Amino acid sequence: MDEELGGQDTNRRADNAYQWMTFIRDRVWWSGPNQNPVRAQRNPSVDLSDVKASGANWDGIAAYIAERSVIRGSHFNTSFNTGHGLQYVVNGVVSNPKEWSNINIQDIPVTWQWWLDTKGKPLSVDYDYGPNYTKGTRFTYQPVGAYQGGSSLVVNGELNSDNFLRLYKTDLSVNQNSNLSITYNKPSSDDSSVLSIGLMFKDNPGQVVKVSIPNSGKQTTGWVSRNLDLSPYQGKTIAAFGLSFDNTNKTIKNYQMNIGQIKITDGSARKPAAPTGFKITKALTDTNEMLVAWDLEDYSKVKQYNLYENGSYIGGIYDSTYYIKSLNHKSCELMLTAVGADGTESEPARLSYDLNAAVSHIKVETKENGEATVTWKNPSKADGTVKLTLITDYTDTVFHKTIMADNGAETATFTDLPTNGDRYTLRIVTGDHEPVAYTGHLADTMIEPYAKENVTVTGSTYTLALPTLKDWHYLYVYENDVPKLFGVTYVSKKFPYIVRGRTKLSELTFTPTSRTSSLKIVLEDYAGNQATTYVR
């Protein structure tokens, strides 16, 4: 997109003002220039000039690959959350006003974007990210935002005929306890329209069975929820479902309907138990970062974990650990809930912390002789001895060392530390308070030489294997003290070294100019340390 908008030196795809363009271009990629998977074919007459694209050269993925779905069983839940937003909303109320992005909590995307059947003028369909979102000139809806997460589904325009929007391909069983709940917001005026859920059953997928939502033509004040009984269809399997917008034989101008959530459940999904083992594993006072962990429950029981800070949503994930990029409070209560198959949250596990009672302004000066001097600032009421523990991270062999400092001290020195540049975590505990952490790298004064075993000789051809050192940066190869040149990706220029991650692998095979040449291989790490290996 940057190239087609005028150059490669920009990053417009990360600019909020251009996001709507990336979404349309993405939809064209999947569904074709008509943005309808039923008509996935190239179309040079489609005007995509507002997003600097053309419909003449691409049919869309939907033209080549049939739709597939993971939606099965008797439960389904979506809030049309695309995994990012300009704020995070819980049950229609802003829980966190910050812009966010978290692919872990993206809902299952709509299967068809957008498959809209109508004999009249088709409505417009989009994701609504709220009033702070630049939606582009082709959309005219009134921004409402999300009911849960960062976005909702919005349908608007002139409703002059029944419009059926096919949403999800499914394999959902219906029994006597099955129920569908829908949460919607209709900001447009009262009218005679009828919103219905359209069900397509496996035994007759060509027929759309409509279940209407009472009073859905009335303007709402915010979000409203309605429950629909699906028990009349027990024994059937829902192969797909969507939404029907019926004008009841009247032309309705400026129609708008936002869908915030749809749930299908039979009540058999149990509310998960509160998470166990909730703890802080790393708290960094100077940067307001924190790492928390808990016991992971099986995915058959828990689909996601949600984390809150003083009631404000932080994020979610299905994992046993979460990295908090920026705490809003030095002292607060964290809450962790488990989310079941139907979206029900458990009772929270609670964890309080007070970083005001911990040391701050931590600094570490590492030296080439293996010493590291640590300084810090004590809290206003410092009590007890200070325990400092340094542990290396991401290493095959863990180095671990603990030293003590007197009550009130604000400096301590480690000795006999490795000088290999390893990453470490330093934990500092004052008295019986919670530990806080600091991360850094040890001094780096050493590097292992390139192993001769990494050189393979076939006839007169030499092939170099890439170094296995985790911190290598450059590999220099000299033939009779003259540096050999190696090509890299993206540019045609060659360089007098092999650079990590950029040199073409084909360049690692070469033939010396003479059988009597002397080959010297110099390995360099990111700290500039070098080691030399001679290969005859």
Pairwise CA distance, residues 7 & 197, whole Å: 46
Residue written as token pair 């296995």: 468
The predicted structure's pLDDT at residue 70: 94
Two tokens, residue 313: 């949503």
Average pLDDT value for the chain: 94
The predicted structure's pLDDT at residue 434: 80
Residue 288 neighbours by CB distance under 10 Å: 15
Helix, strand, coil percentages, rounded to 5, for the chain: 10, 45, 50
58 Cβ neighbours under 8 A, 6+ residues apart:
28, 29, 32, 33, 42
Is the pLDDT at 8 greater than 80? The verdict is no
Identify whether the C-beta of residue 199 lies closer than 8 Å to the C-beta of residue 237.
Answer: no
**Is residue 171 within a helix (H) or strand (E), and if so which, with residue range?**
strand 163-173
Is the pLDDT at 514 greater than 90? The verdict is no
Two tokens, residue 276: 């166990």
The predicted structure's pLDDT at residue 2: 80
137: confidence class by pLDDT, cuts 50, 70, 90: confident
Least confident of 9-13, 125-129, 446-450, 463-467: 9-13
The predicted structure's pLDDT at residue 11: 80
Quote the strand ranges of 15-135, DSSP E.
Answer: 72-73, 76-78, 84-85, 88-90, 93-96, 100-101, 115-118, 124-128
Is the pLDDT at 515 greater than 90? The verdict is no
168: confidence class by pLDDT, cuts 50, 70, 90: very high
| Beta pairing, strands 349-354 & 411-414 | unpaired
* 248 φψ region: left (φ > 0), alpha (ψ -120 to 50), beta (else): left
The predicted structure's pLDDT at residue 460: 87
Q: What's the CA dihedral at 293, 295, 297, 302 to 10 degrees?
A: -40
What are the pLDDT digits (tens) for 69-109? 999 999 999 999 999 999 999 999 999 999 999 999 999 99
**Proportion of the chain above pLDDT 70, given as a percent:** 99
Residue written as token pair 């689909």: 303
Identify whether the C-beta of residue 526 lies closer than 8 Å to the C-beta of residue 470.
Answer: no
Pairwise CA distance, residues 357 & 335, whole Å: 21
This model's pTM is above 0.85: no
**Is residue 404 within a helix (H) or strand (E), and if so which, with residue range?**
strand 400-405
The predicted structure's pLDDT at residue 383: 79
274: confidence class by pLDDT, cuts 50, 70, 90: very high
Residue 352 backbone dihedrals phi, psi, to 5 degrees: -100, 150
Average of pLDDT values for 11-31? Answer: 89
The predicted structure's pLDDT at residue 242: 98
The predicted structure's pLDDT at residue 100: 94
Is the pLDDT at 29 greater than 80? The verdict is yes
What are the pLDDT digits (tens) for 219-238? 999 999 999 999 999 999 99
Pairwise CA distance, residues 105 & 89, whole Å: 13
Identify whether the C-beta of residue 319 lies closer than 8 Å to the C-beta of residue 258.
Answer: no
The predicted structure's pLDDT at residue 379: 87
244: confidence class by pLDDT, cuts 50, 70, 90: very high
What are the pLDDT digits (tens) for 326-370? 999 989 999 999 999 889 999 999 999 888 888 999 999 999 999
177: confidence class by pLDDT, cuts 50, 70, 90: very high
Q: Which of 272, 245, 442 is nearest to 341 (CA)?
A: 272
3: confidence class by pLDDT, cuts 50, 70, 90: confident
| Beta pairing, strands 519-525 & 472-479 | antiparallel
Residue written as token pair 């978290």: 102
* 249 φψ region: left (φ > 0), alpha (ψ -120 to 50), beta (else): left
498: confidence class by pLDDT, cuts 50, 70, 90: very high
What are the pLDDT digits (tens) for 299-327? 999 999 999 999 999 999 999 999 999 99
Pairwise CA distance, residues 117 & 151, whole Å: 24
Is the pLDDT at 6 greater than 80? The verdict is no
Pairwise CA distance, residues 47 & 34, whole Å: 9
Identify whether the C-beta of residue 97 lies closer than 8 Å to the C-beta of residue 291.
Answer: no
| Beta pairing, strands 163-173 & 72-73 | parallel
HEC string for 356-395:
HHCCEEEEEEECCCCCEEEEEECCCCCCCCEEEEEEECCC
Is the pLDDT at 9 greater than 80? The verdict is no
Is the pLDDT at 381 greater than 80? The verdict is no
